[in-house]
Structure 1
Amino acid sequence: MGLLDSVRALFETQSLSPHGICLLWRPELIWTHAVSDLLIGIAYFSIPLALGVFLYHRRDVRFSWAVWMFVAFIMLCGVTHFMMIWTLWNPDYGVEAVIKAATAAVSLVTAVALWPLLPKAIALPSTAALQVSLAERDAALEELRGAMNTMMEMREHESRQKLLLDELNHRVKNTLASVQSVAVQTLSDARDMQDARDLFIERLMALSSTHNLLVKREWESASLRELADSTLKPYGRPFEITGSDLRLDANLAVSLGMALHELATNALKHGAWKGEGRIDIEVDIDGGQDLTIVWRESGGPEVTPPKRRGFGSRLLERGVAMELQGEVKLDFRRSGLVCTIRARASDRIQVMEPRAA
Structure 2
Amino acid sequence: MSQSFLPHGYCYLWQPGLLWLHLISDSVITLSYYSIPIGLVWFVQKRRDVPFNWMFWLFAIFIAGCGTTHLMEIWTLWHPTYWLSGGIKVVTAVSSIGTAIALVPLLPKAVALPTPTQLERANRELRAANNELESFGYSVSHDLRAPLRAIDGFSHALLEDHSESLDAEARRLLTTVRANTQRMSRLIDDLLAFSRLGRKELAMAPVDLTSLAQTVVEDLQKGSGEHRARVSVAPLPPARGDRALLHLVLTNLIGNAFKFARRRAEPRIEVGAQTEDGETVYYVRDNGVGFDMRYADKLFGVFQRL
TM-score, length of structure 1 as denominator length: 0.39
Greater strand fraction, Structure 1 or Structure 2: 1
TM-score, length of structure 2 as denominator length: 0.45
Greater helix fraction, Structure 1 or Structure 2: 2
